[in-house]
Amino acid sequence: MEAERFDQTRQDLILRFGVVSFHPNSIFGIWVHEGTRYEDELVRLVVDVDDAPETRQYFVEWKPALLERFEQIEIYIASYPIDIL
């Protein structure tokens, strides 16, 4: 089931942006929220796209669906400027 969720997420990004990169090496995370200990395998998907208001809005609107899909309390979506030389 977990693989299906990641596959669907990668497909969503490819359909929307035509590109996605996946860091196959995961990071094991342990954290406590409201007295409950969680252990997660953290992975990173990367999408290099133009910094445009509609791109940012897409991710803002998509985040609740991702939280539900992966049954998470939080999912980090980060944005960084990139200079291609």
The first and second tokens of residue 69, run together, are 């899909």
What is the band of 81 on the pLDDT scale with cuts at 50, 70, 90? confident
Average the pLDDT over 54-71 and give the result: 95
pLDDT beyond 90 at 24: no
What is the C-alpha to C-alpha distance for residues 18 and 46, in angstroms, rounded to an integer? 12
Could you tell me if 79 and 57 are in contact, meaning their C-beta atoms sit under 8 angstroms apart?
no
pLDDT tens across 25-60, in order? 889 999 899 999 999 888 899 999 988 999 999 999
Q: Over the chain, what is the mean pLDDT?
A: 92
